[in-house]
Amino acid sequence: MILQLEKRPQASPLLSVLSPLLALLLTAAAGLIMFAILGKAPFSALYTYFIEPLTDPWMREQILVKATPLILIAVGLSICFRSSNWNIGAEGQYLMGGLFGAMLPVYFYELQSSLLLPAMLLMGMLGGALYAFVPAILKARFNTNEILSSLMLVYVAQQLVDWVVRGPWRDPGGFGFPGTRSFNESATLPKLWQYGDAHWGAVLAIVSALIMWFVLSKTLQGFKVTVIGTSPRAGRFAGFSAGRLTVVAFLVSGALAGLAGIGEVAGSVGKLDDKLSLGYGFSAIIVAFLGRLNPLGIVAAGLVLALSYIGGEAAQISLGISDRATRVFQGLLLFFVLACDTLIHYKISLTGLRQQKSQGAAG
């Protein structure tokens, strides 16, 4: 006996829309089981995890802060994934964005200028885009597997950032702790309101999602992305260049990941340090799929994933649930999102060995 996936002749349109919600429900159900096994009251634990943070204005703000980089990166990933360019290296592009953007305040740390911040953001986008260009051009020219090349470059970026913050860029007055000097005010993204933690990166994230939504759903460029992504042959007949799209998609995706990186550096942290990479580039992959590769859906999905971080901390504080639970939840979420999507479009069938043999004989 062998399990096979068979394409359904017609995927249920209702279920396709509901798929992310279904995945959320299944994750919650799995969470209940996990809490029960951990010996916590399942429903009140789930409440602490996913509902309580929403009732508190401070926690809502923290969710927004956490969601900002996730949304920015995932919006960029949507154009890649829609066009079947599997950019798994957003984490590296995010780091390079932080690195490039931090270059200015590190080398000119006494500079106070209103142009500094925009220049930093542009440098961040440039850094991310350049770093994404590597796997893109390798794929377009030499047909290299972009999943591998983009993923491997993440490790290179991690080591590079680690080296600069421990070596040449280390704060001379920082007791040797890895990290640059703290940036001055003109190199810091302003907060959205006084005494708050949310910064203008959140606005950048929403605006970029809106623009991407418009481009993908209302323009010819967006149409090209969908056509090439779903049916490369049809795309070729229509005269669209898949290679060029690969490069463009990676550049846009890298630029947005880079913007997320410098946004965190200049917005939340105020310096470049070795803790910049908290896995946002990988979590954003979950966000992109949970948001159905739709930029507006991604905004919602980014908030959901951010909730899982903040709720995880709340659960640790009030219930003593290990911080590993957060990662388990995120893993479950991706698993169920992909499983739901797959099972909506495909059905599992059991194929007898005999049938397979006869097929083999016939072939």
Partner 1 sequence: MKRLLASLLTASALALTATAAVAEEQDKTKACFIYIGPTGDFGWTYQHDQGRKSVEEAFGDKVETAYLENVPESAEAQRPIEGFARAGCDIIFTTSFNYMDPTNKAAKKFPDVKFEHATGYKRESPNVSTYSSKFYQGRYVQGQIAARMSQTGVAGYIASFPIPEVIRGINSFILGAQSINPDFKLKVVWVSTWFDPPKEADAAKALIDQGVDILTQHTDSTAPMQVAAERDIKAFGQASDMIKFGPETQLTSIIDEWGPYYVERVGAVMNGTWEQHDVWHGMAEGNVVMAPYTNMPDDVAKMAEETAAKIKSGEFEPFTGPIKKQDGTDWLKEGEVADLGTLLGMNFYVAGVDDKLPQ
Nearer to partner 1, 96 or 314 (CB): 314
Token digits for 128? 């991310």
Nearer to partner 1, 327 or 345 (CB): 327
Q: How far apart are CA 324 and CA 39, in angstroms?
A: 16
CB neighbourhood size of 313 (10 A): 16
Taking the complex as a whole, the smallest distance from the CB of residue 85 to partner 1 amounts, in Å, to 31
Nearer to partner 1, 43 or 237 (CB): 43
* Strand segments (E) across the chain: 2-7, 346-351
Nearer to partner 1, 52 or 241 (CB): 52
C-alpha distance from residue 332 to each of 25, 259, 300 (Å): 11, 28, 18
Token digits for 362? 């016939």
Q: How far apart are CA 216 and CA 214, in angstroms?
A: 6
- Give the interface with partner 1 as residue ranges (CB under 8 A): 43-44, 47, 56, 58-59, 62, 166, 172, 175-179, 197, 268-270, 273, 275, 278, 313-314, 316-318, 320, 322-323
DSSP state of 55: G
Q: How far apart are CA 137 and CA 152, in angstroms?
A: 15
Work out the burial of residue 235: count CB atoms within 10 Å of its CB; fewer than 13 is exposed, 13-18 middle, 19 or more buried.
buried
Nearer to partner 1, 268 or 294 (CB): 268
- Is 231 strand, coil or helix? coil
Taking the complex as a whole, the smallest distance from the CB of residue 111 to partner 1 amounts, in Å, to 22
Nearer to partner 1, 127 or 179 (CB): 179
